[in-house]
A and B are shown apart, each in its own frame.
Chain A
């Protein structure tokens, strides 16, 4: 993929395409009741952030043309995917079609974006077609930087070592490796240094895999090898959960993976072997944001204007979710990406109409984590925009974690999923 500059374009062909698009838009407007479209928004990435932005642009904007470009044919949720890994849910439970988003008026295109022309306000898709936009929304998620660990790129490419940190075929494949592991085998989970997508996710995975092993392969060993000096999220609660798997689950802090060679993992002070190596690689904003030149924070994340979610280097491009450089204590979560999508949708409608954007946006987060097939616990936070510091800040005294993990919160976690999927995808 390459970011196009004007010099890369065949101007004549582009102008022709532009004329065709203009004609399409005019024809589209003529057929719409109640006046012309207020503008054309292209959303790239149909995960929690992008799908929500597209849905709310239609819900709140009415006569706005919204196209969502997504490379996958279906939405597969990362939240709840650890339960699939543990055998407590099926892929069908976390998979949804984009049909209802289409019914809500969003033009959903399956395709791969190959280039963004910031100046001409166009994107190009694999196959050569192009889309013009007034406002672009990018919700590119994360991509990995496996080159930081010796041998990891090759191991991931071969499919022998799985990350399963993007739900989909990797989830299914890791479940198969877990099922194929003999009783008495060793399953190792490697956690990268924060920040990474879904702070409590690796520890939830550890609990759910341990729960499966305890029931099905009790002589096995689960090694949780954390590059961080301590558990990154819900520490005391996960420590309590880990005690339920004493003898089976072993947690080691400051255990950063340095090199992979076959089924041998090399840490700083020791080497270890495992039957299944589940490596969550270090991460940065998704490739699309990098190719568009938006990674202005540590060459890793996208800085955004929190009032509109526009990139601080490319106004007019709104960036959502895990790809953003977060405000203080703002997690990289599907829930937060959904909230980013709503801030962006509200702002874009105002910008297209020439009105003022909301000067006091609020976002909030809830992350449930399962510690077994049934019991879950949460962390929650509320973030209010601070005009003086131009960022979101958590409200003192608000938010917090569960007192204990419980079956009641397990039910709430599944209801949370049901509601956020419906909210994001117009189900």
Chain B
């Protein structure tokens, strides 16, 4: 599978996951993403040294959080926080931030 095809497949899977979640609770991703806002800014519009998440692709956020969760990626704190969220929750958080405009 080419990179483009893999990327498309990943996006479709994310959209599918998001739409399934939508059927359960339309606000689940929003509510989960809000737990990140204390450090990463409201709707992911971070300030200072924190990494902005608004408008970052869902694949990128899932990849980052998953690697923190697995321990492949080290850091000061995110490897501890990422372990607190299920894979499904990570996908919902990623889809929410990806859909936010980059600038406030």
* Nearest CB on A from B80, distance (A): 4
* Nearest CB on A from B32, distance (A): 6
- Check A400 for interface membership: any CB of B closer than 8 A: yes
Contacting residues, chain B, for A59 (C-beta < 8 A) = 42
Residue-wise, chain A 217-245 has the 8 Å CB interface mask toward B (1 for contact) of 00000000000000000000000000000
Contacting residues, chain B, for A416 (C-beta < 8 A) = 38-39, 50
* 397-427 of chain A: CB within 8 A of chain B: 397-400, 402, 406, 408-409, 411-412, 414-416, 418-420, 422-423, 426
Task: Assess A358 versus B48: contact at CB under 8 Å? Given A364-B35, A399-B84, A423-B38.
Answer: no
* Nearest CB on B from A361, distance (A): 7
* Nearest CB on A from B73, distance (A): 15
Q: Are B48 and A418 in contact (CB under 8 A)?
A: yes
- Check B2 for interface membership: any CB of A closer than 8 A: no
- Check B81 for interface membership: any CB of A closer than 8 A: yes
* Nearest CB on A from B93, distance (A): 10
- From A33-41, A136-144, A293-301, A378-386, give the one contacting chain B: A378-386
Q: Once the chains are docked, how many angstroms separate the CA of A297 from the CA of B46? A: 38
- Check A366 for interface membership: any CB of B closer than 8 A: yes
Q: Are B84 and A415 in contact (CB under 8 A)?
A: no
Contacting residues, chain A, for B39 (C-beta < 8 A) = 366, 415-416, 419-420
Task: Assess A366 versus B38: contact at CB under 8 Å? Given A358-B28, A380-B77, A398-B83.
Answer: yes
* Nearest CB on A from B72, distance (A): 15
Q: Which residue of A lies closest to B89 (CB)?
A: A362
Q: Are B76 and A398 in contact (CB under 8 A)?
A: no
Q: Are A423 and B41 in contact (CB under 8 A)?
A: yes
Q: Once the chains are docked, how many angstroms separate the CA of A418 from the CA of B41? A: 9
Contacting residues, chain B, for A342 (C-beta < 8 A) = 31, 34-35, 37
Q: Are B35 and A339 in contact (CB under 8 A)?
A: yes
Q: Once the chains are docked, how many angstroms separate the CA of A420 from the CA of B28? A: 21
Residue-wise, chain B 12-26 has the 8 Å CB interface mask toward A (1 for contact) of 000000000000010
- Check A7 for interface membership: any CB of B closer than 8 A: no
Q: Which residue of B lies closest to A400 (CB)?
A: B80
- Check A346 for interface membership: any CB of B closer than 8 A: yes
Q: Once the chains are docked, how many angstroms separate the CA of A426 from the CA of B37? A: 12
Q: Are A411 and B49 in contact (CB under 8 A)?
A: yes
* 353-400 of chain A: CB within 8 A of chain B: 356, 358-364, 366, 378, 380-384, 394-395, 397-400
Q: Are B38 and A414 in contact (CB under 8 A)?
A: no
Q: Which of B31, B42, B46, B82 touches A358 (beta carbons < 8 Å)?
A: B31
Residue-wise, chain B 50-89 has the 8 Å CB interface mask toward A (1 for contact) of 1000000000000000000000000011001111110001
Q: Once the chains are docked, how many angstroms separate the CA of A382 from the CA of B32? A: 11
* 304-346 of chain A: CB within 8 A of chain B: 335, 338-339, 342-343, 346
* Nearest CB on A from B60, distance (A): 20
* Nearest CB on B from A286, distance (A): 22
Q: Once the chains are docked, how many angstroms separate the CA of A416 from the CA of B49? A: 9
- Check B40 for interface membership: any CB of A closer than 8 A: yes
- Check A88 for interface membership: any CB of B closer than 8 A: no
Q: Are B89 and A422 in contact (CB under 8 A)?
A: no
Q: Are B38 and A338 in contact (CB under 8 A)?
A: yes
Question: Chain A residues in contact with chain B, CB under 8 A?
Answer: 56, 59-60, 335, 338-339, 342-343, 346, 356, 358-364, 366, 378, 380-384, 394-395, 397-400, 402, 406, 408-409, 411-412, 414-416, 418-420, 422-423, 426
26 A-B contacts, Cβ less than 8 Å apart? A56-B34, A59-B42, A342-B34, A342-B37, A358-B25, A362-B84, A362-B85, A362-B89, A364-B35, A366-B38, A366-B81, A378-B77, A382-B84, A395-B84, A399-B80, A402-B76, A406-B76, A411-B49, A415-B47, A415-B48, A416-B50, A418-B47, A419-B39, A420-B38, A422-B42, A423-B38
- Beyond A339-B38, A346-B30, A409-B76, 17 extra complex contacts between A and B, CB < 8 Å: A60-B30, A342-B35, A346-B34, A358-B28, A378-B77, A380-B77, A381-B84, A382-B85, A398-B81, A399-B80, A399-B83, A399-B84, A406-B76, A414-B48, A415-B39, A416-B39, A423-B41
